[in-house]
A = this chain, B = another copy of it.
């Protein structure tokens, strides 16, 4: 991905003055195309200035692409007409929400047209009684939550980026969040979609009811990262806000014990809303930047969040505290009021930012493993850290086995970036071998395309490519993402450890 040249030239973040090169690039979308697009969305909504193109060239990953033009349509109809223009002229197109993507899904790695959906911000319906909402793709996650709260309702997916990220982006990436242990990822909360197919046709899949008959094209679209079409409107399943929430913070001298608490809680039949672990590296980062009084000599901080009806929480919290004590927690605190809870979460919430302060750049590795494999994978990760000389901050969504490692690197040092990449690749390999996956919630994007071969055989990937070819025969929809290219004759590729298991 990173070496593509030509119209879709990709710049490495660690190349010196890559942005100067980007700014110097000549426009490859001709005037005719620009006029056609301006006619659809209005002149101010077609961006071709080098500074704008630069801005829309990257997301929050290490991948940076270079669009030929950025279009900001204002309706499903306009999106469909823009895509028609792309289809007629064989221009690749890349949908974009807020650009918080952590795997390069919204970076235009092969150039073409970035279709920004940030103007599609209408809330079309809140049907509180049937627990449904219909919204456009550009609605910001937290804006929706704020509107739902007076109805006593929520949209469960709450990615850490929710202040900024859009529902359309959440759907494209099948986003998770700290509470997806209990409530599931985005897919579990989407009932229907309006999709602009790569042909420009507008289709509806699913609807307001549960379990629409026929093939589940909603499931196919959710998490497909814009490679099968653009989702412009969605019917969301809502859920009542929990009546009460309690948060428990426990400190452990040994990381294994924190992991054991997680297993025990699940084994006892409790299903907390969140189970999060921070390791020593992350605690140190937090205390260095946003001190919250955590001791630096513990190996793990475990956060347990319980929600539900009032009477049940009291007893569940007691059980969780008892399990923590049995496993030698050094300190256990229970937060009941919103203020107390916020205090317990503050370290966790600032962890990503604090880790980012330790280094100018972070390579986010988002691999998962079965819960029972966490301890053994952790030992292997310590070896990987040593062998490659990298620093890795670990911020587990422990309940669902999401390791979520943040690998620090210096973007001005190509060698350091190479080391981070090598370590990341080894982590993916270890996790795939342990029966896990290469992404817990951030998608495959452009960053992890090559690692799909760790999970799927050539034939399994071919079945997915066939599916793509049905919807996108010209291969214009977010090209280069999600699926690796077919293996060329004679090419050596990784075996897929899962297949041998």
Contact = CB atoms under 8 A, between A and B. Distances in A.
The interface centre, meaning the residue of A132, A219, A241, A267 with most chain B CB atoms within 10 A of its CB, is A219
A205 interface: yes
A467 interface: yes
Interface residues of A, number: 91
A10 B131 CA distance: 43
Contact of A211 (B210, B211, B242, B439): B439
Contacts of A263: 129
Interface in A302-318: 308-312, 314-316
A309 B312 contact: yes
A214 interface: yes
Contacts of A185: 210-211
7 contacts: A208-B370, A209-B401, A213-B439, A214-B464, A308-B312, A309-B315, A470-B470
B211 A240 contact: no
The interface centre, meaning the residue of A184, A218, A437 with most chain B CB atoms within 10 A of its CB, is A437
Interface stretch (A19-27, A43-51, A221-229, A378-386): A221-229
The interface centre, meaning the residue of A127, A184, A213, A498 with most chain B CB atoms within 10 A of its CB, is A213
Give the number of times this chain occurs in the complex, counting copies: 2
A217 interface: yes
Interface stretch (A1-9, A288-296, A449-457): A449-457
Contacts of A208: 370, 435
A438 interface: yes
Nearest to A440: B211
A439 to B, nearest CB: 5
Nearest to A370: B130
A301 interface: no
* Complex A-B, nearest 7 residue pairs according to Cβ-Cβ distance, in ascending order: A219-B219, A312-B312, A240-B269, A216-B219, A311-B315, A209-B437, A130-B370
Contacts of A218: 219
A204 B457 contact: yes
A168 interface: no
A407 interface: no
B371 A130 contact: yes
A309 B370 CA distance: 25
A312 B216 CA distance: 36
Contacts of A240: 266-269, 271
A203 interface: yes
B215 A459 contact: no
A463 interface: yes
A442 to B, nearest CB: 10
A152 interface: yes
Interface string A226-257: 00100000000000111100000000000000
A176 B219 CA distance: 18
Nearest to A152: B269
A185 to B, nearest CB: 5
A263 B127 CA distance: 13
A314 B314 CA distance: 14
Contacts of A469: 470
A400 B213 contact: no
